[in-house]
Amino acid sequence: MSAPTIDHTLDEILNLAASHFKVPREKLTADDDFFKTLGIDSLQALDLLTRLEHHFRIELPDYELQGVSDFRTLANRIQARL
């Protein structure tokens, strides 16, 4: 089975984030700073990371996300693990 496209991965991340943090999906875009758009702190970002790992069935070490704050880069990091 081939890996999903980056657009598909990004879309799933945005859907999950919107649903869990109760933000309208249409307000989220790929280049948003997710800390600001979702209004989350570092602990909630870890929560998001755990949810994404469960959703995509991957392990994503937190050090790969240092300095990452936009959905597009996050999607790229996840894509590299699929």
Partner 1 sequence: MNEFKGQTLSWQIVNGAIELALHRDPCNEIGSLTLEELEKFAAALPGLGDEAQALIIHSTLKAGFSAGADLRELFQRGQAMEKDAALRGVQDFLQRIHGVMNALDAAPLTTIAAVHGVTFGGGFELALVCDIMIADRMARFCFPELRLGLIPGFGGIPRLKRDLGNAVVRDLLLTGRSFNVMKAQQIGLVSQIAAEGEALRVARATASQVGKFDRQTAAVAKAFVKPIPYDELKREIDIFCNLYSRPAVAEGLRKFVENEGVQPYLP
In the complex, which residues of this chain contact partner 1 (CB under 8 A)?
A: 35, 41-43, 45-47, 49-51, 53-54, 59, 61-63, 66-67, 69
The C-alpha R_g of the chain, in whole angstroms, comes to 12
> Are 71 and 10 spatial neighbours (Cβ–Cβ below 8 Å)?
yes
- CB of 66: closest distance to partner 1 in angstroms? 7
| Beta bridge mates, 15 | none
Nearer to partner 1, 26 or 43 (CB): 43
Angle of CA points 66, 20, 39, to nearest 5°: 55
**2 vs 57 by CB, closer to partner 1:** 57
Quickly count helices (H) and strands (E) in the chain.
4, 0
Instruction: Compute the least distance from the CB of residue 7 to partner 1, in Å.
Output: 26
The minimum distance between CB 42 and partner 1, in angstroms, equals: 5
